[in-house]
Every structure is written in structure tokens, then in C-alpha cells.
């Protein structure tokens, strides 16, 4: 997964990410949600 652009707002986030063809969208969201929760807590 490669992070392209990231824009963080008060109540939401916009992100442009590149993923390989072997990775599903649900896997990407799982990784992003896990990383963000570890960063916040």
C-alpha cells in the first residue's frame, strides 16, 4: 500500500492510496483503521 495524499479534517479524513491487485479494499480499510486507532490511543 502506498499513501498518495492525505487531508485530515476535524471530523473526517480524505486519503488517496495505491494498492496492489492482490489486496482487497476491505484489507486496506482494516490496515488503515488499525493504524489510526493505535496512533490515537
Q: What is the pLDDT of residues 1-41, one digit of tens each?
A: 888 998 989 998 898 999 999 999 999 889 888 888 887 77
Please state the φ and ψ torsions of residue 30, each to the nearest 5 degrees.
Answer: -60, -45
State pTM to two decimals. Answer: 0.61
Whether 1 and 18 have beta carbons less than 8 Å apart is answered as: yes
Amino acid at each position: 500500500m502506498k499513501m498518495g495524499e492525505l487531508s485530515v479534517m476535524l471530523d473526517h479524513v480524505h486519503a488517496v492510496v495505491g494498492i496492489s491487485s492482490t489486496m482487497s479494499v476491505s484489507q486496506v480499510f482494516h490496515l488503515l483503521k488499525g493504524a489510526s486507532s493505535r496512533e490515537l490511543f
